[in-house]
Amino acid sequence: MESSDSQRLQTIANELFNLLTEQNLTSTGSYRPDNNVKLHMTLLNSKYRQEKSNRDASFQGFSPNTRTSFSITGILKIAGNFYFTENQSFQQICLCDRLSFDPSTQFYKCCCKLEFTTDGIHCSHMNKM
């Protein structure tokens, strides 16, 4: 049996998917037999890490590294009970293209922002680069 928190998270994910569909930001068709968005989480993504030898080097553009598995035992010992947020509200959600990289932010490029206001949810499409 799912917890009430799990059910609320599933409802939020489903509603966001519906909003993205209304904004033509999703592919068409049924996405799951139960009509629920599949919830998953990436704890650490090693694809865009910088090797120690590359951190101080200046280079043009960005080249993802070959993925190498590693142990997160040390990280879990330090931050195992860390809460990223609790009882927090959000003013916006940025939707990012996970296959692109923005050197100015050192993160994925934002392709759409959903802003939550007292008037409702507003969608801003960003320019593709």
The predicted-structure confidence for 52-96, as pLDDT tens digits, reads as follows 555 555 444 455 556 677 777 888 888 888 876 777 777 888 888
Residue ranges of the domains in the chain?
1-40
pTM (whole model) above 0.75: no
Quick one: the chain helix, strand, coil %, rounded to 5? 25, 20, 55
The predicted-structure confidence for 6-63, as pLDDT tens digits, reads as follows 888 888 888 888 888 887 777 766 567 788 888 877 766 676 666 655 555 544 445 5
- 2 Cβ contact list (under 8 Å, min separation 6): 10
